Amino acid sequence: MLTRWALGSVWAIKKSGVADLGGLARMGLEELMAPDFALPDPEAALAHPPGLAGVVHDLSVETLVAAYSRGLFPFSHLPPLKWWSPPTRALLFFEDHHFSRTIRAKMREARYTVTFDREFDGVIVACAGRRAGRWPLTWITPRIMRAYADLFDAGHAHSFEVWNKAGELVGGGYGVAIGASFSGESQFSLESDTSKIGLTALNYHLARWGYHFDDGKINTPTTRHMGFREIPRADYLSRLARAVAAPGKSGRWQIEADLPEIAAWQLRPSCGH
């Protein structure tokens, strides 16, 4: 815990700068003086640090479902755990999905197998594990693991798993589905491109099942290359409200197509949204 706090402090300064720590300090002081147990307004999130909306007091299934339905998600490398609502949101509209020739080739070769909801605990533990070339820092603590395991048991959290021919779990990720919205949480790869293969299989099925989008929260080079693009918070919240009200895929998810079939996925040209 001490290591996480020390690395988290350095990381916060490195990523946000000292100026943003003022907003964190003010919110912490306000919570200390008068704790607010209601979910915050996602549109009232701070500008510094961008998207900080409030302090998390409860991680029950009911609270997490309500939070994701409003566009909030929990995250923090340093206590207390906080609610976030970024000023822009990285969404994938499925007709924009892009995967490279390399990924298509690996899927056609059937070097890997993808499953859904078979090994949720193993996936979240692997997502929390140390990554080569990265800081040994994770926000996925035992408390977070328990909360999302409860969401999984309740049918709101889902995982995708990528297995090699030896039957080893070598890639995967997990996220939260509310109505016809899906919000990705974390991914891992132990072999090259395995998380991309799994995410492509997931997005193929989300599109097939009528989901409105895949919410990647904050764009990364990987998600940007796959077709995720940022839209303003107000636009995102409007789309989210419609998606949450629409029917999603109930129960435990199962893959409905093999990888060679998914590799042949032909996307429509984007016509704007």
Residue 1 burial (10 A CB sphere; 0-12, 13-18, 19+): exposed
pLDDT for the residue 49: 87
- Of the candidates 59, 85, 43, 90, the one whose C-alpha atom is nearest the C-alpha of residue 216 is 90
pLDDT by residue for the chain (273 residues), tens only, comes to 666 555 555 555 555 555 555 666 666 666 666 666 799 999 999 998 899 999 999 999 999 999 999 999 999 877 789 999 999 999 999 999 998 899 999 999 988 999 999 999 999 999 998 766 665 568 899 999 999 999 999 999 999 999 999 999 999 999 999 999 999 999 999 999 999 999 999 999 999 999 999 999 999 898 999 999 999 999 999 999 999 999 999 999 999 999 999 999 876 544 344
3-class state of residue 85 by DSSP? coil
CATH 3.30.70.3550 in the chain, residue ranges: 2-85
For residue 91, list its beta bridge partners: 215, 229
CATH 1.10.3470.10 holds for 90-263: no
CA dihedral over 136, 137, 143, 144, signed as positive or negative:
negative
Dist CA 28 CA 163 (whole Å): 43
Enter the CATH code of domain 2-85: 3.30.70.3550
Instruction: CATH 3.40.630.70 in the chain: give the residue spans.
Output: 90-263
In terms of pTM, does the model score above 0.85? yes
d(CA 35, CA 183): 28
Residue 254 tokens, joined: 């199962």
**Contact 152/175 with Cβ under 8 angstroms?**
no
